Amino acid sequence: MKLYDAAWPEILNRQDELLVFPHPIENHDALTLGLYAIEQAKAFGYAFAIRVIVNGAVAFSHQMDGTGLEHDWWMDKKLNTARETGIATLRLYCEVEAGLREKPAFLENLASYAIDGGCVPMRTADGHVFGYVEASGAPHQYDHEVGTRAIARFLGIDVPSLV
């Protein structure tokens, strides 16, 4: 399974351009977004843990059969990384791999941070990040795609895919 593909940075940039909300969602919208993520996760055939964070709080959480506390731990670390950088964790991974960005020093704290795909920020056109969609349970490009495809469906748009 690929951990990195040279085409991914361009695809991730395009996803970021397209996945823009007209306004922040509210907690009740997280249910719809979370159910879209579960639907996508099932299509991939892996057991995923999924979270939707809105305004700093978990507004939706689901553990598919076969997941557990380890997945929560990974999602916590991915969320910390995305909060620190303001970008999708897979984008950070790809930029470091491609030599487009130095590996941030905070990533040395392996107990709190992870440079692994699976946490996708939700943002408005002015760049305001108001939440995140997270997934854990599969190779990191699939974790990432669960979030991007759920957001795209919520927004009613198509985005390029990594898988």
Residue 71 has pLDDT above 70, yes or no: yes
Q: What is the pLDDT of residues 86-115, one digit of tens each?
A: 999 999 999 999 999 999 999 999 999 999
Q: What is the pLDDT of residues 11-62, one digit of tens each?
A: 999 999 999 999 999 999 999 999 999 999 999 999 999 999 999 999 999 9
pLDDT at 3: 84
Q: Are 104 and 142 in contact (CB under 8 A)?
A: no
Please give the domain boundaries of the chain with CATH numbers for all domains: 8-155 (3.30.450.150)
Cα gap 124→51, rounded to integer Å: 19
Q: Which residue has the tokens 């759920």?
A: 150
- What lies within 8 Å, CB to CB, of 10 at 6+ separation is none
For 122-143, what is the mean pLDDT? 97
How is residue 36 written in tokens? 């879209």
pTM exceeding the 0.85 threshold for the entire prediction: yes
Q: Which of 22-26, 66-70, 97-101, 137-141 has the lowest mean pLDDT?
A: 97-101
pLDDT at 2: 67
- What lies within 8 Å, CB to CB, of 24 at 6+ separation is 54, 55, 122, 124, 128, 130, 131
Residue 1 has pLDDT above 70, yes or no: no
pLDDT band (50, 70, 90) for residue 4:
confident
